[in-house]
A and B are shown apart, each in its own frame.
Chain A
């Protein structure tokens, strides 16, 4: 097991380098320069323009810029944002808790509803439950996030007035020194109603972001369960007279969960992509909308740093998923 973990950790190095190189090449191959984006329709003297680009470190040949960048990253320096003039790390970590909190809640919703729904659909294969669940999953999977978000806002926020439209908490609540995780900060604060407000602000974005992973998880759980339910050991368990709950919940589900866990790991990447749209609709101050804005503004250090840090996060999650395989299935653990 330890050897496996070390092997996986070593794989992170080329993955990181690949992600860094790809991001660097892609962002630099998009035409336009960050200074022009700062100036908009205005123009400054071409000599001064070049001087300012040099000041930003963008005057050197690209390979040298890349080597410099990697060298600095290895020393923990991700550079400074061209837009905000602040360090990329501080810009990223100011927003990352918001994305993480939303992604965590969305994934929680997807698992808590998706897995039982998939199990139910498999167990009652061909029934009205199965068709309803799979129909809903297909609809959820096909729903454009932007449209779905606006629809929920219109219905729950404007028509019913049950949920706030956007943001993370009511504007009246303010925490001087928080962790950035609004649920936690509001819970720890002594401000009455803060936690309820934070919770209510999370509901719609969680539903919107969690819908696609929920649909994928439900469908994957169903097909994995169908496969497992046909296995000999399940028949044996039933023949032994075990209760339906033990057969399905303990024997079948545990084995069916292996591909489901893989899908959950992969969905983290999807969540990050979906977060961009969800964050935009709900004015959620996360890394998704920050990264998109940085691309528009040609803020090279922010884009490169942001992508690397997100890639690191996704790699870590997938490493954790690999470790969970071992816990779910001792045979895998033994083989490793």
Chain B
């Protein structure tokens, strides 16, 4: 009996080890952190979803891999009219849409695809406008419906986009996933078959990979597009193995079940760096965690009080305790990885004594106030509660009794946007490599009325004028100068306390070649191979 038991255990162990070791050399396996909401690049704005659609699509203009520089993609070149309102795009010839099991393209990419893709979002009468709910999170969130006026075909390889007002960041904005180019031919076929919603579930694009299958919450499979216009990929297949728990993602990398994974738990980094088979890529994250003081409430409407608050927080301690060293102390609302960052700004020192004196000089003494901390982990703030506790202790040193408060995430955002938070944590991660993306929402557009996303509810006409001017100028040097001025003004007025810019880590097997950590925090597998 005992012998039989031992034999059975041995057989079982053998079976298990055989099952676990099989793998194909030409498959790049990425342990992604979550499930995509769908495969319609225009519908969603969650990073996880955009990572999943990115391999399938291209845009007219894209961000150069590993940089924040906008480069030609499906548009070979483009011109901007003198008034900055009309963009003429000359499309690349000979680009093919990837063939899939469910669609075989019969023609190459042309202007019809571009007009269809933009008009789906822009034109309420477009037959695809209301398909899949008709909510275009990024397009609407960035106010593109107000920025863009028309998209017209000039000829098969020329498209004219007219804007309502000059928008200097427009070319950078076109590099985002919402501006991906869909196949009009595929859309027409689906419309004919009465299966329009399939366009957002079984995608067709011109990208480096074609979509094969999505096993919900488990695996996304892609195949290299043999006709890709930038050349075939180094691997035959790309697989996203959805692994929500960061500890499990780490275990899978160590066990050789995946080749790379994002968002490691900070506590695991030390161990990972010790493993000779693994390399941990890192890059400063394009994000900022900041602390808001509601400028519409007393005493935060007082500049000296706000400046004192900028001296109250021990940001180094936050970096150590919350990020275990994986972050950099911030002095501006713009991260240093984005062009236009003003390094000349002299940070407020950590000086609780002086801060207390300044507060007392303004009559702020024994103040009790609510401090809102983020209930969820975000790339720019891994642990809102811990950060809140550190902030609470720092504020106690300057004579402020902070009462920690939080809400469910959706409610937190809603209330903060409505201006209910006196003090609180929030942050922002880059959508595009343009300073406007980080600075515009701190302004009020010259209306004196802060929009929802201006969580500190600070309005300053000079700041608004600088941003408006920068938005309407296409000269990068001039824009840089304007953004520098805006950051200096913001530093002086101190409507917020910039806290940290977190560092992005990407643990990967040493077999992986060609992977670059993108300064915009996106995960891009084009050109990535295996040794």
Contact = CB atoms under 8 A, between A and B. Distances in A.
Interface of A: 30-33, 35-44, 46, 48, 52, 55-56, 80, 82-86, 91, 94-95, 98, 150, 153-154, 157-158, 161-168, 170-172, 174, 176, 193, 196-201, 203, 280-283, 285-286, 289-290, 293, 296, 298
A293 to B, nearest CB: 7
A150 B24 contact: no
A197 B252 contact: no
A161 B137 contact: no
A37 B410 contact: yes
Contacts of A52: 135
Contacts of A82: 133
B400 to A, nearest CB: 26
Interface string B182-225: 00000000000000010011000000000011011111010000
B27 A197 contact: no
B133 A55 contact: yes
B380 to A, nearest CB: 10
A55 B140 CA distance: 15
A38 B255 contact: no
A41 B22 contact: no
B247 interface: yes
Given A161-B255, A164-B255, A289-B217, 18 more contacts: A31-B411, A32-B408, A32-B411, A41-B426, A41-B453, A42-B142, A43-B452, A52-B135, A83-B38, A95-B217, A153-B251, A161-B20, A162-B13, A163-B20, A164-B20, A193-B19, A200-B15, A283-B218
Nearest to B24: A172
A85 B19 contact: no
A40 B135 CA distance: 14
Contact of B407 (A31, A46, A158, A176): A31
Interface string B20-53: 1011100101000001011010011110000000
A199 B46 CA distance: 34
Nearest 4 Cβ contacts at the A-B interface: A32-B410, A43-B452, A285-B217, A200-B19
A52 to B, nearest CB: 5
Contacts of A166: 243, 248, 251-252, 257
7 contacts: A38-B137, A56-B133, A164-B255, A167-B219, A199-B19, A200-B20, A290-B217
Contacts of A296: 409
Contacts of A196: 15-16, 18-19
Interface in B152-185: none
B19 A41 contact: no
B324 to A, nearest CB: 19
B245 interface: yes
Task: Kindly name the residue among A32, A82, A157, A165 whose own CB sees the greatest number of chain B CB atoms within 10 A.
Answer: A165
Given A32-B410, A41-B428, A289-B217, A85 B241 contact: no
B518 to A, nearest CB: 19
A197 B251 contact: no
A55 B257 contact: no
Nearest to A43: B452
Nearest to A90: B216
B23 A170 contact: yes
B406 to A, nearest CB: 12
Contacts of A39: 45, 137, 141
A32 B248 contact: no
A81 B265 CA distance: 30
A30 B413 CA distance: 14
A195 to B, nearest CB: 9
A158 B256 CA distance: 10
Interface string B364-390: 000000000000000000000000000
A83 B37 contact: yes
Task: Kindly name the residue among B16, B22, B27, B197 whose own CB sees the greatest number of chain A CB atoms within 10 A.
Answer: B16
Interface in B104-138: 132-135, 137
Interface string B420-444: 0000001110000000000000000
Given A32-B410, A42-B453, A170 B19 contact: yes
B135 A167 contact: no
Contact of B141 (A31, A42, A163): A42
B451 A293 contact: no
Contact of B409 (A37, A42, A168, A170): A37
A310 to B, nearest CB: 16
Contacts of B16: 162-164, 196, 199-200, 203
Contacts of A193: 18-19, 22
B340 to A, nearest CB: 21
Contacts of A42: 45, 137, 141-142, 453
A36 B133 CA distance: 15
B511 interface: no
A38 B215 CA distance: 22
A5 B318 CA distance: 63
Contacts of A162: 13, 16-17, 20
B499 to A, nearest CB: 15
B218 A167 contact: yes
A2 B408 CA distance: 49
A170 B13 CA distance: 16
B239 interface: yes
B414 interface: yes
Given A48-B140, A165-B257, A158 B18 contact: no
Contacts of B411: 31-32
Contacts of A203: 16
Contacts of B92: none
A201 B37 CA distance: 26
A44 B414 CA distance: 11
B417 interface: yes
A329 B482 CA distance: 86
Interface string B216-254: 111101000000000000000001011111011001101
Contact of B43 (A44, A48, A85, A285): A85
Contacts of B221: 174
Contacts of B417: 43
Contacts of B24: 172
A182 B40 CA distance: 28
B181 to A, nearest CB: 20
A170 B45 contact: no
Nearest to B380: A41
Contacts of A40: 45-46, 413
Contacts of B44: 38
A280 B244 contact: yes
Contacts of B22: 170, 172, 193, 197
A38 B135 contact: yes
Given A82-B133, A165-B257, A172-B27, A282 B37 contact: no
Contacts of B197: 85-86
A168 B426 CA distance: 38
B217 A55 contact: no
A157 B255 contact: yes
A199 B18 CA distance: 11
B93 to A, nearest CB: 34
Contact of A167 (B18, B23, B241): B241
A119 to B, nearest CB: 18
A298 B243 contact: no
A39 B274 CA distance: 39
A48 B451 CA distance: 14
Contact of B135 (A35, A150, A161, A198): A35
